[in-house]
């Protein structure tokens, strides 16, 4: 097991092809992504595309990024991530990702209605 982890972590990031110290092994597909690329990738898919299910950044991979990997990258309490993206922005992205996940689970915007009390859709 230890050899497999070391072997995988000798791989380069699937986005920038660099061998950064701060990398993550995606649990669904075993692809490696550096933290900087991972945060930027999530920012695009959450903020710009409003996607609940985010696929692996490797173009030829059909797997989705596991929710635990998304939460690990967006953890506002992990100060090691602060140089890459400030905690408040990570928290904002996680909040909006959670909204997208709930909306997806309920069938999308076509099936959602505005709450008469809080006026949230």
Please indicate, yes or no, if residue 111 is contained in any of the structural domains: no
Q: Does residue 112 lie in a domain region? A: no
Name beta bridge partners: 25.
32
- Which among 121, 119, 23 is positioned nearest to 72, based on CA atoms? 23
Q: List pLDDT tens digits, range 38-87.
A: 999 999 999 998 889 999 999 999 999 999 999 999 999 999 999 999 99
Whether the model clears a pTM of 0.85, i.e. scores above it, the answer is no
Structural domain of 92: 2-106
Closest CA to 78 of 67, 60, 91: 91
In a domain, 27, yes or no: yes
CB-based contacts of 36: which residues, under 8 Å, 6+ apart?
16, 20, 22, 84
Query: Burial of 40 by CB count in 10 Å (0-12 exposed, 13-18 middle, 19+ buried)?
Result: middle
Q: Examine residue 118 and state whether it is found in any structural domain, yes or no.
A: no
> Domain tally for the chain?
1
Strand, helix or coil for residue 32: strand
The answer to whether residue 120 is domain-embedded is no
Helix (H) or strand (E) holding 7: helix 2-9
Q: What would the two tokens of residue 118 be?
A: 């809080």
89: domain CATH number? 3.30.40.10
Residue 48 belongs to a domain: yes
pLDDT beyond 50 at 6: no
In a domain, residue 85? The reply is yes
Q: Which of 5-19, 43-57, 88-102 has the lowest mean pLDDT?
A: 5-19
115 in a domain, yes or no? no
- Per cent of the chain over pLDDT 90 is 64
């Amino acid at each position: 097991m230890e050899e497999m982890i070391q072997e995988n972590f000798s791989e380069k990031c699937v986005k920038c092809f660099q061998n950064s110290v701060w990398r993550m092994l995606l649990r669904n597909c075993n692809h490696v992504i550096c933290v900087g690329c991972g945060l930027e990738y999530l920012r695009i898919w959450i903020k710009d595309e409003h996607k609940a299910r985010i696929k692996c950044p490797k173009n030829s991979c059909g797997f989705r990024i596991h929710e635990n990997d998304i939460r690990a990258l967006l953890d506002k309490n992990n100060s090691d991530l602060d140089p890459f993206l400030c905690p408040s922005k990570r928290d904002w992205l996680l909040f909006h990702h959670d909204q997208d996940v709930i909306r997806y689970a309920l069938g999308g915007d076509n099936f959602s209605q505005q709450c008469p009390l809080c006026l949230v859709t």
